[in-house]
Every structure is written in C-alpha cells, then in structure tokens.
Amino acid sequence: MASPGVCMSILNARKMKDGFGTFTNPERFNNQDFEQLKQYCQIRQVRYIDEMFPPDRRSIGEGVLSPSDLMRVTWNRPRKIVSNPCFEVDGISRFDFGQGMLGNCWILSSIGALTFQSVILKQVVPPEQRFDEDYCGIFHFRFWRFGKWVDVVIDDKLPTIDGNLIFVHSKNPTEFWPALLEKAYAKVCGSYSDMNAGTPAEALVDFTGGVHICIDLKEPPKDLWEMMCRAGQSKSLMGCGTPQGETSANTVLPNGIVQGHAYAVTGVKTTLSQGQQVNLVRLWNPWGEGEWKGDWSDTSMLWNTVSPEDREMCLKKRDDGEFWMPLEDFCRFYSDLDICCMCPEFLDENSSCHWKTAFYEGRWVAGTTAGGCMNDLDSFCTNPQYRVKIDELLSGCSSKKVEKNMLVSLMQKPDKRNRRLVKNLHIGLYVFEVTEEFKTQRGKFSASFFSRNRPVAQTKTYLNGREVMELLMLKPGEYLIVPTTFKPNETASFILTIVSKAETHVQ
C-alpha cells in the first residue's frame, strides 16, 4: 500500500493504449473491483466495509468539524437512518438535495448541472444500484481524474450526528444517491475536508472528462448569449461563481445573491416583454434554497408582461434555489462562467463541423526539462515542445466570419492523492509559428529559435490553478506549443489537451 497522501494510480500512456481508463472501460480506483467485491460479500453474506476509505475521522479529515462535533459522529448505513432507504426516488434531479456542513458548493452545483445530461449522468452514477435483495452495502461511481476514467468503490456507511446526515442530504430522507455520490468524490479527493472550497470548473471536468472553457463575465465576448444558447443545445454543462466580496464567503447580499458561491446554469431563454426581447438566464443555488430578488425573480411583476405560455413554462413560485435573471444582471453579479462539454462544437454556428481532441502527457523535471517562462530565455528551450501541423479547413467547416479553430488546455497532475496537500505551480503555455527557415528542423528547437521568434499566442497570465486554457485562431501551417512553469527547475507532471477544428498532426 502506498504511503498516505500519495496518488496510487496515475495514468500512463501504455494503459490508455490498452483501453483502460476510458469512458467505456474505467480503471479500478485503488485496484478495487466492484463486481468481485460485491460477489465476495454476497457469498459470505456480509456487509462491505471499505478499508481504503474507512468509516472514521481520517475520512472526514481536518478542519471541517469542531473537535466536539467530531466526537459525536457515528457512521451509519442508510437502513439504520431510515427503515426504507432508496438509491433514488422518482428519478435523479437537482431538486433532490441541499448542501450540508461542507463548503463544497462547487461540487454540488456541478452535480445539479450534471442531472440534465442523461448519458453523462449514467456514466458518473451507474444505474441499477438498489437497496434490494442483492444489497450488501457496496456502491460505485465514476469520475474522470487527470486523463483517465476511474471506477470508485465505497461502502454505504455515512457520517451522521444524532442520526442525521451532516454533509449533503436529500430533501426526501429515504433517498441516498447524493450522499453516496459525495462520499465517492470525497474518496478520490482524499477526505471530506479535501472537498472544502474549489471551483465549478474542476468538478465539471471530473464529471465529464470533457473540454473546459472559462469566460470572464467582466469582459464577456460579444456573442456570449449566442454561445450560451448553443452550449445549452449541445449537452454542455454550465456553472458559474460570484466574487468573494469584502466580507467573508457565503454572505447573502440584499438582492439574494450569495458572495463567494458556486451556482449551476440550468437554462437560457429569450422572451418578449412589452415588445422588447429579453434574454434570461436560469440559475440554481446548491443550498436548495435562497434566490435572486431582482428583475425576473419569482416574485417580479415583470412576469405579467410576457405571454401566458412563457409565464406558465418559466415561473415556479417556490423557494427551491432556482430563479431567472436577465443576462445583464448575470454579467454584473457573477464573475465567471464555466462551460464544460465533450467537444466545443457550441463555439461554431456551423454545427456540421466536428472538432477533434487529443491528449498528451508530459513532465517538467528540474535540471532537464523545466526551463521556466521566457524570462529565462537560456533555459526556456529545455521545456517540453509539441510541434503541430494544421491543415486547411474542410469546405463544410470554413466560414468568412473570424472564429477560433483550436483550444489548448494545460492541466497539471498532482503527485499526492489528498487534494488539500496539492501545491499547484504557476503554469502557462506559448504558441510559436514555425517559419520557413525552421521547417527542416528536427528534434527540439534551440534557444536561437526562441530568441528570433515571438509567440503568436500565449496564456494571458501564469496561474497557480489546476488548469489554464486558451482559445486560438491559427491559420494553416506549423506551430510549436511549449507548456511551461513560471519558474525554472520545478518538477511536475501535466496533461496537454489539443482540440482542433482543422485536421492536426502532432509530434
């Protein structure tokens, strides 16, 4: 068994080629086989207990509960909490649950978005899990983690105080899929406390294995509304967050918006009000309550100015955490919008064009392949280099409108399992055009190339987050992509994702 805090199963290229860790063939997290473990328990007529994520204070972690509350925790199976537990009741919905004592709104808002996409939902939450005659206290869920899909096994012992769930809880006390899903994600993060604080982007990627695009709502693109409409139609997941503000996080403003909080975007709609077109965004608060109080809120008189059909379709006067607000107020009160999808086809007005995705694994190693940013020009050339040839767009994909034709994402991979112990480096990437005089170059490009050529694109800033990405418009030709840390001689692993509208060839 690996030492505490060490990631026990990091993907390597050979495993991917053999088909393990894919959407259809997830890798066993911690090498635990769900079917074998379930069969073992059934034959011996015992209830499963997960030794890899034991029902004790180690799995809760530090800093979430006070010492006195931690002493009161008991781990109970659903059948000890209620007499008639169910995995799900009348399907799976965002309205099933509310946030508990954990600051993991970034995960729960993403789960809310996930419930709209049945194909991905069935991947993350395998169906046909029941408290029936085959029940033996074992469940499993699937997540995408740093380049691979993993199947995560858990027992169903859940942390309670005085018989009540202390973390996420269903509004129907007999329904347990939200608490079990949260426990499985806590396991891959290291503990419940390792889920405390984060961004929707991280969970959205882990629930889809897809491409993430972040939009700064303080400087939104001109076609933001059209982009959101296409994203909603293309089975994308959308989440957003509010600024921290000057006071502590989770402060509720007079308008009902929570500071430093994550929400799910659950719908977009255009309606006519007094002859004027209004673009509305529907949002959901993972608390399961607490809503916007401004224009187009549940109690707004503006709903009397739209057609009866739109009013009937949109207006639900209940405190369930979901509400509508105009796009202008959305950009005003929210800081960023995260869109995550299997493929960024929503960026195109032309839906007939298909984007292609490729993953590449790499590593910066101090002293050899960790050259730092262009401030350190002498060592910069030692960084990993990816040479890309971009072909002409097919006629069906070309457009007179200037648009993006490539997305490049750089994600650093942790060397520790416990999320709170991961120290992200400041990372970024550069893109250089390979001009005619260098096209015969073989192998890595030397310092002379970078001293004579300026990047045609680069990340706006170096971030110490899990991922940075750039949307690019590159004409046909050859390019060099260089992922880097800000400082030289920093060791870390990474995944470079290249999503291209045109045919590309990578060395």
Residues with catalytic roles: 105, 261, 285
Burial category of 293 from C-beta neighbours within 10 Å (exposed 0-12, middle 13-18, buried 19 and up): middle
- The residue type of 239 is G
Give every CB contact of residue 212 below 8 A, 6+ residues apart in sequence. Answer: 201, 204, 205, 338, 339, 340, 409, 467, 469
366 DSSP assignment: T
- The residue type of 30 is N
What string of H, E and C letters represents the secondary structure of 154-217? EECCEEEECCEECCCEECCCCECHHHHHHHHHHHHHCCCHHHCCCCHHHHHHHHHCCEEEEEEC
CA distance 166 to 59: 14
Give every CB contact of residue 15 below 8 A, 6+ residues apart in sequence. Answer: 21, 27, 148
CA angle 41, 46, 48 (to 5 degrees): 65
Pairing of strands 27-28, 74-76: unpaired
Note the Cα 18 to chain centre separation in Å.
26
CA angle 234, 237, 243 (to 5 degrees): 135
235 dihedral zone (left: phi>0; alpha: psi -120 to 50; beta): left
CA distance 300 to 43: 59
- The residue type of 129 is Q
Q: Which two tokens stand for residue 277?
A: 């077109």
Q: What is the DSSP string of 226-289?
A: HHHHHHHHTT-EEEEE----SS-TTPBPTTSPBTT-EEEEEEEEEEEETTEEEEEEEEE-TTS-
Give every CB contact of residue 346 below 8 A, 6+ residues apart in sequence. Answer: 227, 230, 231, 233, 234, 236, 339
Nearest CA to 256 out of 293, 286, 209 is that of 293
At residue 151, the 3 state secondary structure works out as strand
* CB distance 386 to 496 below 8 Å: yes
CA distance 218 to 456: 25
> Where do we find the tokens 């975007």?
265
State residue 22 phi and psi, 5-degree precision. -95, 175
